Chains A and B, each alone.
Chain A
Amino acid sequence: NAGVTQTPKFRVLKTGQSMTLLCAQDMNHEYMYWYRQDPGMGLRLIHYSVGEGTTAKGEVPDGYNVSRLKKQNFLLGLESAAPSQTSVYFCASSYPERSYYNEQFFGPGTRLTVL
């Protein structure tokens, strides 16, 4: 049982390049989330998904797109990377139907630098 895994762990991009971050969970969770973490800002929700084929915007969605084609995977895309997207990205998932009072399980993070 691997829990929540994220690929890659580190990445350096040049401004304007694109990339996709992959999140996978093996706990059969319905809900999945993408956060970014910046110094002094805590965790900010980018996008989330309540089930396969559904996604919704969070607090800071601009410049990102997501897809949830399979229940176990949640992809975060950057179409044209900007230096402001330099951050640590965390994926999380939570239990179905009782998400509001069950905890989230977090991946180890992806450290992205945009030059």
Chain B
Amino acid sequence: AQSVTQPDIHITVSEGASLELRCNYSYGATPYLFWYVQSPGQGLQLLLKYFSGDTLVQGIKGFEAEFKRSQSSFNLRKPSVHWSDAAEYFCAATTSGGSYIPTFGRGTSLIVHP
């Protein structure tokens, strides 16, 4: 079955520190991958997406993610976290070879300490 796993429920970092949020997928075909951010009390907003080509993709708000086929991973990174990055982050995937309905991970809550 297709699945998306975010191993970390919570991540705590200090402001200015680097960040990496993990995402692993299990799909038969190469998936299309997404990262969304949900600020408190808000809906989800797309940060970035990967379809093909360059495995390092840039997104909004200074985020980037790297697709690693060998590790079935699509980890989200940011070199220096700001207090306003505190939010819930969701990884999602879909594929052209099956259902077009995306599968979401359970989310990682990012806490930023001053």
Contacts and interface: CB of A to CB of B under 8 A. Distances in A.
Interface of A: 4, 31, 33, 40-43, 45, 48, 58, 90, 92, 99-101, 103-104, 106-109
Interface in B29-49: 32, 34, 36, 41-46, 49
Nearest to B91: A42
B43 A103 contact: no
A10 to B, nearest CB: 11
Interface in B93-114: 94-96, 100-102, 104-107
A40 B9 contact: yes
Interface of B: 9, 32, 34, 36, 41-46, 49, 51, 90, 94-96, 100-102, 104-107
B16 to A, nearest CB: 29
B102 A104 contact: yes
Given A42-B104, A100-B100, A109 B42 contact: yes
A41 B34 contact: no
Contacts, number: 48
A58 B101 CA distance: 9
A30 B43 CA distance: 20
A43 B90 contact: yes
Contacts of B100: 31, 99-100
Contact of A42 (B32, B34, B46, B105): B105
B74 to A, nearest CB: 14
B104 to A, nearest CB: 5
Given A40-B9, A43-B104, A101 B44 contact: no
Given A58-B101, A99-B100, A41 B106 contact: yes
A19 B105 CA distance: 29
**Residue among A40, A41, A90, A106 facing the most chain B CB atoms (10 A cut-off):** A106
